[in-house]
Amino acid sequence: MTAKLIKGTEIREQILDEIAAEVEEIKAKHGVVPGLVTILVGENPASISYVTLKIKTAHRLGFKEVQDNQSDDIPEADLLALIDKYNNDDSINGILVQLPLPKHIDDKKVLNAIDPDKDVDGFHPVNVGRLMIGGDEVKFPPCTPAGIQEMIIRSGTETKGAEVVVVGRSNIVGKPIANMMLQKGMGANSTVTIVHTGTKDLKAHCLRADILIVAAGVPGLVKPEWIKSGACVIDVGVNRVGEKVSEKTGKKIAILKGDVDFDAAKEIAGAITPVPGGVGPMTITMLMKNTLKSLKFKLGLM
């Protein structure tokens, strides 16, 4: 059996088209567009490329976009003051501080300084709490878990009553996606298990999964014999395992490998996400969706 591929690159285009259409409509009716600011501290190459792509995507959608780059020796107090400035800027609906931050800055303090109603990353404790309560309480689901849920829904996978096993318990992926999948409602209502480095028998748990979500950060951790026949497998791992020269550009690029042994797994799974081109493209897409939502909340449209 060869699994159906769940392509993030295709789903991204569908969702971005939906967002662009809504932006046009809101602009015509209300004369405003969503505003997103990205704050980048320092020159971490991976962070620069993420932020550049976020800004480019916001631009493509007709958002107001502000790229605020700061040097890596910015005092913590100045960064907090900058966040306060954007908290009070009416044209900005979403504030994103790119992580990681330099060591002299307390990232908890910084994330907590963002107005929860502009926290489009969904990392503020208020939004984490809202996610836990579920239902109408949720404003900004964190972007990677929201992207995963969207992929599960759009691939036509049944979630109600499904056994969902999440591998990994990070605050950014494992804990929130587990929480989202157990809520009542569409694309959820599942029976959820979280497994992690303290779990005794990973394979036994994974083998029960109708939907297996892997966010462990360990290349090739999940072997084909851990996968139930026909399961939906979502691989969140983006592990840099080497470098190669791009055929398109002639430049050196990273060789990426997921947390799942893809070539073997696709013969057993019913549906599976590739790496790259799977979950990766969904994170920025859902950031755009959250920024649009933030404006809609403000306009009373949600």
- Point out the residues that are catalytic: 54, 98, 121
| Binding test (CB under 6 A) with ligand GUN, winner from 11, 16, 95, 143 | 143
96 near ligand GUN, rule: CB under 6 A: yes
Q: Give residue 257's identity as a one-letter amino acid code.
A: K
Angstrom CA distances, 170 to 95, 121, 191, stand at: 22, 15, 19
Cβ nearer to ligand GUN, comparing 33 with 101: 101
CB of 97 to ligand GUN, least distance (A): 6
Cβ nearer to ligand GUN, comparing 96 with 212: 96
99 near ligand GUN, rule: CB under 6 A: yes
Beta carbons within 10 angstroms of residue 251's beta carbon:
7
32 near ligand GUN, rule: CB under 6 A: no
CB of 152 to ligand GUN, least distance (A): 19
CB of 176 to ligand GUN, least distance (A): 11
97 near ligand GUN, rule: CB under 6 A: yes
Query: Of the candidates 257, 200, 266, which has an alpha carbon nearest to the alpha carbon of residue 230?
Result: 266
Cβ nearer to ligand GUN, comparing 101 with 272: 101
What does residue 170 show for φ and ψ, rounded to 5 degrees?
-70, 160
Using DSSP's 3-state secondary structure scheme, residue 1 falls into: coil
Beta carbons within 10 angstroms of residue 199's beta carbon:
15
CA–CA gap between residue 291 and residue 70 (Å, rounded): 22
Cβ nearer to ligand GUN, comparing 143 with 152: 143
CA–CA gap between residue 255 and residue 214 (Å, rounded): 19
Structure-block tokens of residue 125: 């404790």
283 near ligand GUN, rule: CB under 6 A: yes
| Binding test (CB under 6 A) with ligand GUN, winner from 22, 65, 119, 121 | 121
Size of the site for ligand GUN (CB under 6 A): 7
Only one of the segments 95-103, 158-166, 236-244, 263-271 lies at the binding site for ligand GUN (rule: CB under 6 A); that segment is: 95-103
CB of 221 to ligand GUN, least distance (A): 20
Q: Which residues 163-222 are close enough to bind ligand GUN by CB under 6 A?
A: none
Instruction: Give a three-class secondary structure readout of 4-53.
Output: EECCHHHHHHHHHHHHHHHHHHHHHHHCCCCEEEEEEECCCHHHHHHHHH
- Which H/E stretch holds residue 200? none
CB of 132 to ligand GUN, least distance (A): 19
Strands (E), the chain: 4-5, 35-41, 64-70, 94-97, 163-167, 191-195, 211-214, 232-235, 239-245, 252-257, 271-272
Only one of the segments 90-98, 146-154, 198-206, 251-259 lies at the binding site for ligand GUN (rule: CB under 6 A); that segment is: 90-98
93 near ligand GUN, rule: CB under 6 A: no
Please give the residue ranges that form the binding site for ligand GUN (CB under 6 A). Answer: 96-99, 121, 143, 283
